[in-house]
Structure 1
Amino acid sequence: MRCFIGLEPDAKSKMAIDNWRQHALPAIEGKVPAANFHITLAFLGQLNHSQLEQLQTTLEQATALPACSIQLNTLGYFAKPKVLFVGTDEIQPELMQLATSVTSLTQQAGLQLRHQTYVPHVTLYRKCPSNPPAALFSPDIELQFTQFHLYESVSSSGGVRYPIINSWSLY
C-alpha cells in the first residue's frame, strides 16, 4: 500500500483554504478536492504489511512530539510535478522539529526516505500549466495541529482518496 505521514487541517480550515482558492485564483484544471487537503511530513511510498506494522509500533513509542502551526501566506509551484500549492514563507521551529522527528522515526522503523528539502504546503492543483497564474491576493490562513496521521493513498477511477490508517497526539 502507498502511504505517507501528514497533518490534517480541520474542516473549517479546509473550507478557508478552498474559499481563498476560489476567490484569489482563476479556474484551473487539476483542482484538488478540499477533502484531500493535508500537509505531508514524510512520503513513504509502497509499504508491505510488515513495514506498516513496524512503522506503527515505532510511532506508538514516540513521545513529546510538538504540537505545531503553520501560517499559509504564499503561493508556490513545483515545476517537475506541476503542482500549485499554498505554503509559508517561514517554517515554525515546532513544525520543522516534528518533520525531522517523523523522518528519524521512519528511519528507525527501517524505511529509507528520499532526501529532499522539507517544504510544508497544501496542494491546490495537480498537473497545473507550466506558467501558473498569480493570486489576486495573498492567503492568510493559520492552521493548528494537535495530531499527526498515517495515511494511505488510494487511487480509483473516481480520483485519489487519503484515508487515515492511524493517528497520534502531539503535545
Structure 2
Amino acid sequence: MLDESGSAMPPAMMSLRIFAALPLSETVLDQACAEMTGVPGANWRPRENLHITLAYYGELDEPVIEELDLALGKIKLAPFELRLQGAGRFGGGDPSALWLGVEPRPALIDLARRCRKAALSLGIKMETRAYLPHLTLAYLNKDVELSRIQRFEQRLGLFKSKPFTVDRFHLYSSWARKPHTPNLYRIETEYPLIP
C-alpha cells in the first residue's frame, strides 16, 4: 500500500486477544463433555474450546506478543499430574458461568504465577484477582433457573476426572466469529515442560 506521496506504507500492526492455557487429554475432554447436560439455557462450550487458563493477557500488539512468547519460552518446569474435581458457578445469585474445578497443585499454581510474571516483566497489565484454576463448561443466559444450576453443582460436587499429565502449555489467540457464537481459539505457540 502507498501513502499520499507514493511511498510504501508499513503493514498495519495487528493486535490479538491472547491467553496462556493448558490443553486437556482426550479422556478428560470426554469426561467433561459428558457432564454438559441438565441446565436448559446454558451455552455449552465446544469441545475444541475447553482448556484451563493460566493467564489472560488481553488484547496485545504483535511486537508485544513476540516479546511475551520469548518470555514464556524461558519458563522451565517439569511435567506434573493434574485432575479436574468438583464444580461451581461464577456470579453467585446472578450466575454467569458453570465450571469444573481443578485440584489445587503447587506446580499448577507455580506455572500460572510464572506466566503472569512473564507478562508483568514486559509491562503488560494483568488482572489483580486471585488465580482460580477451572474449566469453563458453559456461559449462562439470564433466564436460567437457579434450581437447575444448584442441581448441576450438587450432581458434580464430588466429580473427579481421571488424572492427566501436564507436559506442555500453549499461547492461544481468541478470534470473534459471528455474534452469539463461541470464539475461535488458535494455538500460537506450544511450550513443552521438560523433566
| TM-score higher than 0.5 | yes
Change (3 A) 1:84 1:122: same
Structural mapping, 1:103-142, within 5 Å: 103-128=116-141, 129=144, 131=146, 132-135=149-152, 136-137=155-156, 138-141=158-161, 142=163
What is the deviation of 1:35? 1.4
Match of 1:33 in 2: 46
1:72 pairs with one of 84, 90, 103: 84
Cα distance in 2, alignment partners of residues 145 and 154 from structure 1: 25
1:96 pairs with one of 71, 92, 109: 109
Structural mapping, 1:50-65, within 5 Å: 50-62=63-75, 64-65=76-77
| 2:97 is the counterpart of 1:83 | yes
Query: What is the number of equivalent residue pairs in this alignment?
Result: 167
The alignment's TM-score, normalised by the length of structure 1, stands at: 0.88
Task: Give CA deviations for 1:120-162 in whole Å, capped at 9, x if unaligned.
Answer: 1111111253722323353210332100100001110153111
The two structures, once aligned, show a CA RMSD in angstroms of 2.0
Change (3 A) 1:75 1:123: same
Q: Percent identity?
A: 25
Which is greater in Rg?
A: 2
Matching residue's letter, 1:75: A
Cα distance in 1, alignment partners of residues 90 and 79 from structure 2: 27
Match of 2:177 in 1: 156
What is the deviation of 1:26? 4.2
Query: Could you say what secondary structure the match of 1:156 adopts?
Result: coil
Where in structure 1 are there 5+ consecutive unaligned residues?
Answer: none
Query: Could you say what secondary structure the match of 2:27 adopts?
Result: helix
Worse-superposed segment, 115-124 or 126-135:
126-135
Cα distance in 2, alignment partners of residues 49 and 166 from structure 1: 13
Match of 1:9 in 2: 24
Matching residue's letter, 1:109: L
